[in-house]
Chain A
Amino acid sequence: MEIGRYSMAPLDEIDVAEGLRINSLMADSQQPIPDPDSWLDEEIRRNVLITTVDYVVDWARSRSIFPLMFGLACCAFEMIGTAASRFDIARFGMDIFRWSPRQADLMIVAGTLTWKMAPAVKLVYDQMAEPKWVIAMGQCSISGGPFKESYSVVPGINRIIPVDVYVPGCPPRPEGLIHGIRQIHQKIVKESINKE
């Protein structure tokens, strides 16, 4: 056995491209993205003329959210439990979990996000049509959880995409997720179509 000679396989273009993509995303994602909080001042900036339109649009939006199936780890089972008959999020007009980001407007990121998965999360988020909201479900997606110091786990999905509501827990119970969805509803009814 010759020690000086190694049988390293040549790298495929697709591997190199993936590596470059992950490393550049990692370099760009060292700081968390600030949470969207402009809606806090929204009520002050509302004008009288379009208030009723706002009311109708927000009422419609908040009562028919289409969630996107995005189960990454064990939190996904609580999300599935929330969608099933016992907790029944159809009560909030969320009958169907969509598999396509183009048909969804709420992304429930349930579980541990690794750096290798991060480009896919960003891609799926970018494919969702406006308006869109994001729930970070569970400690792992909030801050990396027990894997915060790990070499392979994103320390909080707010490094990758902006987050509207954080639902803590390991995993959160379905009641917790439903509470998070109620918070999203309250956030939606404060939004206005009068974008600056």
Chain B
Amino acid sequence: MTTALKGEQVARTITKALPDSVAAADSMSVVVASQSLYQVAEFLKNTPELDFDYLANLTAVDYMGYFEVVYHLVSLEHNHSLVLKTRCHGRDKPTVPSLVKIWRSADLQEREVYDLMGIVFDGHPNLKRLLLWEGFVGHPLRRDYL
């Protein structure tokens, strides 16, 4: 059974290496500032005792005030997992950095989130609609759609 790491515990490790990058942490997850997301992701992947080599899931939640992008990370070597979150504000073009360069599995999932939620992933090599067709108006999983 995969062990879910405590959020506070990982947040302390991240803060030691990258100060001011963690915005909040609880027992379930770590919330990082979106401008330091890329560095945190690199740190989580390349640190040997964490070694998160597998991005299992990527999704987003619309809280009306802000969007939260959720990353479910798994280490196949240590068999532990972590929920990493980041927030982005504004409904016009909310932007978070793309993590395709770190985890290839982010490619299609970031396109899906862009398609249905309208979150722009800066640095994505091929950011266009995945499920809906080009010319579709709006992003249907937003809570203010319709």
Contact = CB atoms under 8 A, between A and B. Distances in A.
- Counting chain B residues whose Cβ lies within 8 A of the other chain, the interface size class is 20 to 34
A1 B127 contact: no
Contacts of A20: 135
B109 to A, nearest CB: 16
B39 to A, nearest CB: 11
Contacts of B34: 1
B133 A1 contact: no
Interface string A76-118: 0000000000000000000000000000000000000001100
Contact of A7 (B124, B133, B145): B124
Contacts, number: 59
A19 B135 contact: yes
Contact of B134 (A6, A16, A151): A16
Contacts of A152: 131-132, 140
Interface stretch (B1-9, B17-25, B72-80, B90-98): B90-98
B125 interface: yes
A18 B133 contact: yes
Nearest to B120: A6
A1 B126 contact: no
A5 interface: yes
Interface in B131-146: 131-136, 138, 140, 145
Interface of B: 34-35, 38, 93, 95, 97-98, 120-129, 131-136, 138, 140, 145
Top 4 nearest A-B pairs (CB, nearest first) are: A19-B134, A19-B135, A15-B134, A22-B133
